[in-house]
Amino acid sequence: MWIFLAFLAVPLIEIGLFVKVGGMIGLWPTLAIVVITAVLGTALVRREGARALEDLRRSLNELSDPSRPLAHGAMILVAGVLLLTPGFFTDAMGLLLLIPGVRNWVMTRLASRVKVARFEMGGSPFPPGGADPRRPRDPYVIDAEEIDNMAPRRPPRNGPSGWTRDQDQ
């Protein structure tokens, strides 16, 4: 229901703002403002996105919790979509999401509603090639590796493979 209301309210707000601003400053300045905010917003999204990607790389290299940089990256992506959408309201919301303090506030508000049940980093807790000791082994499955000792071995070929033609012929 909330998504339906957002899809209904946002275009109505945008149309109202276009009519109001266009009536005050005219058509061409209104369109110029929309284009300029899209171009400047794209540059800001690239800069903030690069910063969020660097934070994500740093957290992964340090094996720390990557949820904060991922959340910032997701909000920057949403900000980019909002800035590229023509309109004054969506531009304002997009610009707000590009401010790190606003992103932190949004993240703490959302984090209070989300519960993480389990989080692990560093791959499998079992030794490489080892099975999960908590899971019973299936008696009908045999872990094996196929080695064909009966296949005839050919000596390595020193000439052309036969798949290519020599340049001399």
Q: Say how far residue 58 (Cα) sits from the centre of its chain.
A: 16
Is position 131 within any domain?
A: no
Domain membership of residue 117 (yes or no) is no
Q: How confident is the model at residue 62 (pLDDT cuts 50, 70, 90)?
A: confident
Q: Is residue 70 included in any domain, yes or no? A: yes
Q: Which domain holds residue 37?
A: 10-111
pLDDT greater than 80 at residue 66: yes
Q: Is the per-residue pLDDT at 86 higher than 70?
A: yes
Selection from 52, 66, 57 nearest residue 119 by Cα:
66
pLDDT tens-digit profile of 12-34? 999 999 999 999 999 999 999 98
| pLDDT value for 160 | 65
User: pLDDT by residue (tens digit) across 94-104?
Assistant: 999 989 899 99
DSSP letter string, 41-103: HHHHHHHHHHHHHHHHHHHHHTT---HHHHHHHHHHHHHHHHHHSSSHHHHHHHHHHTSHHHH
Number of domains in the chain: 1
Q: What is the pTM of this model?
A: 0.62
* 140: in domain: no
Residue 120 lies in a domain: no
Residue 140 has pLDDT above 80, yes or no: no
Domain contains 65? yes
Stretch 126-148: mean pLDDT: 60
168 in any annotated domain:
no
The answer to whether residue 92 sits within a structural domain is yes
Give the whole-angstrom CA distance, residue 18 versus residue 41.
19
Distances from the Cα of 137 to the Cαs of 123, 125, 129, 130, 154, in angstroms? Answer: 22, 18, 14, 12, 40
Alpha carbon separation from 105 to 57, 80, 137, 140, 147 (Å, rounded): 23, 18, 48, 54, 59
Of 46-50, 114-118, 144-148, the range with the lowest mean pLDDT is 144-148
User: So what's the pLDDT on residue 126?
Assistant: 53
